[in-house]
Chain A
Amino acid sequence: SYVLTQPPSVSVAPGQTARITCGGKNIGSKSVHWYHQKPGQAPILVVYDDNERPSGIPERFSGSNSGNTATLTISRVEAGDEADYYCQVWESDSDEVIFGGGTKLTVL
């Protein structure tokens, strides 16, 4: 079945830009959605349809998707952004929701 590959961890200093990748075969042809999850809490949608933000999500969160890689970009990173981040797609060939393995964002 379809596989989404994320780096296990990304570290960034406050105020810098964090980029979290999500790799998948021809993922650019799919709509990619991103969630963050803090310990002990439910996931929260931060980007949908590659680059759209739900209401209440800061403009610092943005996304892109092309070829075999989708990317979540967090500008001007804050300590409160520290969380696990997951990408997700709907795979129509196998009728499955697919999640990436998750990336732990550490703010140094």
Chain B
Amino acid sequence: DVQLLESGGGLVQPGGSLRLSCAASGFTFTRYAMSWVRQAPGKGLEWVSSMTGSGERTYYADSVKGRFTISRDTSKTTLFLQMNSLRADDTAVYYCAKDAIAVARNPWYFDYWGQGVLVTVSS
């Protein structure tokens, strides 16, 4: 069974940094794009970033470009999101999501999601 387990969330001050992890299992990690999607309290879903299964392409929302970096460790089948220069409006539950399409050039749609991890940016 596919499992996605996020970790690394918590409380951080504005301007601070945090690294989220998503441990993946139950599928061939390098065949599927992986993404981060967030949801601010009481708000809708917002896509944050994606990486293709090959690792060759990364994509970012304008709201995080230049501050967040997506990466992975294929030996540990773990996806990361390095978040720098955090702001109050980055406060959200961050979900890790697996793409449904194998060997795609870009993310397409998400067939599995993690349970989410809360990031709170506040002084």
Q: Report which A residues bind B (CB closer than 8 A).
A: 1, 31, 33, 35, 37, 42-45, 48-49, 54, 84, 86, 88, 90, 92, 95-102
B45–A99 touching, CB < 8 Å:
yes
A101–B113 touching, CB < 8 Å:
no
Please name all residues of chain A whose beta carbon is closer than 8 Å to the beta carbon of B26 when the two chains form the complex.
Answer: none
A45–B47 touching, CB < 8 Å:
no
A92–B106 touching, CB < 8 Å:
yes
Please name all residues of chain B whose beta carbon is closer than 8 Å to the beta carbon of A90 when the two chains form the complex.
Answer: 106-109
Contact A97 B35, CB 8 Å, known A33-B109, A45-B100, A86-B45: yes
In the bound assembly, the distance between CA atoms of A26 and B100 in angstroms comes to: 24
Contact A97 B47, CB 8 Å, known A1-B62, A92-B106: yes
User: Which of B106, B108, B113 contacts A95, CB < 8 Å?
Assistant: B106
Q: How far is the CB of A2 from chain B (nearest CB, A)?
A: 12
Interface residues on chain B, size class: 20 to 34
Please name all residues of chain B whose beta carbon is closer than 8 Å to the beta carbon of A43 when the two chains form the complex.
Answer: 37, 45, 95, 110, 113
Please name all residues of chain B whose beta carbon is closer than 8 Å to the beta carbon of A95 when the two chains form the complex.
Answer: 59, 106
- Cβ-based interface call for B50 (8 A): yes
B111–A86 touching, CB < 8 Å:
no
**The 5 A-B residue pairs with the shortest CB-CB distance in the complex, in nearest-first order:** A97-B47, A33-B109, A42-B113, A102-B44, A99-B45
A101–B107 touching, CB < 8 Å:
no
A97–B107 touching, CB < 8 Å:
yes
Please name all residues of chain A whose beta carbon is closer than 8 Å to the beta carbon of B110 when the two chains form the complex.
Answer: 33, 35, 43, 45, 88
Q: How far is the CB of A6 from chain B (nearest CB, A)?
A: 9
Q: Quick one: closest B residue to A6, CB to CB?
A: B44
Please name all residues of chain A whose beta carbon is closer than 8 Å to the beta carbon of B53 when the two chains form the complex.
Answer: none
Please name all residues of chain B whose beta carbon is closer than 8 Å to the beta carbon of A102 when the two chains form the complex.
Answer: 44-45
In the bound assembly, the distance between CA atoms of A43 and B114 in angstroms comes to: 9
In the bound assembly, the distance between CA atoms of A43 and B115 in angstroms comes to: 9
Contact A99 B111, CB 8 Å, known A42-B116, A45-B100, A48-B100: no
CB contacts under 8 Å to A, within B21-47, are: 35, 37, 44-47
